[in-house]
């Protein structure tokens, strides 16, 4: 299931991000690729060890911790430090699947990649091409969101970034290890959470049916969450 989260970053935050990114040096994205991905990756990335990269990433992590829809969808246990990439002049990333395990840089901590996320940092009107294509059981989906919006999808999905033929595509990307490992269980919990939120807005959070559904939600969380 693909889930989009709107306005993760505000217009003011995006302006600051783009200013920082325009002043920083980019390196070849292939430096962080391995195996199959190395053969199909043509883009640029910020040095993950750069102090500014880490500061921008920390800000994104703080914002995500306060974004209710993201938390409900991902049920995050661990999140990798956000990275940043740039596609231009035909840059692309062919079909690939993300590594199942990643090591958080500078630590011995391993993270199981249950979910992948991309936050778009500039508007689609600023570049041509650059769609994120994701394959799942329902076919192929092309994603190209407004600046500040995020797409969240299972890391088991085959995906690619189409060539950017004009302009520049800027994004941040990261991986999440969820407290609920099974994708279907996590989707059910998310759908239930969103139903509770909608009914709570319509009927009030103290409505008996909302209280009952909330109780069921937390019972399911106790059954399926692994911390």
The answer to the question of whether 183 is labelled as a binding residue is no
Q: CA angle, 55 as apex, 60 and 163 as ends, to 5°?
A: 65
Tens of pLDDT along 23-72?
899 998 876 655 566 678 999 999 999 999 999 999 999 999 999 999 99
Query: Given this model, what pLDDT does residue 175 score?
Result: 98
The answer to the question of whether 96 is labelled as a binding residue is yes
Give the bridge partners for 118, in sequence order. 151, 173
pLDDT, mean over the chain: 94
The answer to the question of whether 112 is labelled as a binding residue is no
Give 106's pLDDT tier (boundaries 50, 70, 90). confident
User: What is the number of alpha carbons within 13 Å of residue 24 lying toward its C-beta?
Assistant: 24
- Token pair of 170 as six digits: 């800027």
Angle between the N-to-C axes of helices 51-65 and 11-23, in degrees from 0 to 180, rounded to the nearest 10: 160
CA atoms 146, 129, 121, 54: torsion sign? positive
Cβ atoms of 169 and 127 closer than 8 Å = yes
Q: How far is CA 87 from the centre of its chain?
A: 17
The answer to the question of whether 98 is labelled as a binding residue is yes
Residue in the structure block whose two tokens are 């430090």: 81
Cβ atoms of 163 and 90 closer than 8 Å = yes
Query: Given this model, what pLDDT does residue 48 score?
Result: 92
What is the spatial distance between Cα 146 and Cα 140, in angstroms, rounded to a whole number? 20
């Amino acid at each position: 299931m693909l889930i989009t989260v709107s306005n993760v970053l505000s217009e003011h935050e995006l302006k600051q991000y783009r200013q920082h990114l325009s002043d920083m040096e980019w390196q070849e994205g292939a430096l962080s690729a391995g195996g199959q991905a190395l053969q199909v990756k043509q883009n640029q990335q910020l040095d993950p060890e750069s102090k500014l990269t880490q500061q921008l990433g920390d800000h994104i992590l703080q914002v995500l911790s306060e974004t209710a829809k993201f938390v409900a969808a991902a049920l995050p246990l661990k999140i990798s430090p956000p990275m940043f990439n740039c596609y231009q002049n035909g840059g692309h990333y062919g079909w690939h699947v993300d590594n199942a395990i990643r090591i958080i840089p500078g630590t011995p901590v391993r993270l199981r990649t249950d979910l992948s996320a991309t936050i778009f940092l500039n508007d689609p009107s600023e570049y041509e091409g650059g769609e994120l294509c994701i394959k799942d059981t329902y076919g192929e989906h092309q994603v190209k969101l407004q600046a500040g919006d995020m797409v969240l999808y299972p890391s088991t999905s085959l995906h690619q970034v189409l060539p950017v033929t004009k302009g520049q595509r800027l994004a941040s990307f990261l991986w999440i290890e969820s407290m609920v490992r099974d994708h279907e269980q996590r989707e059910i919990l998310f759908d239930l959470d969103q139903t509770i939120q909608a009914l709570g807005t319509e009927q009030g959070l103290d409505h008996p049916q909302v209280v009952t559904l909330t109780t069921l939600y937390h019972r399911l969380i106790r059954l399926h969450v692994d911390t």
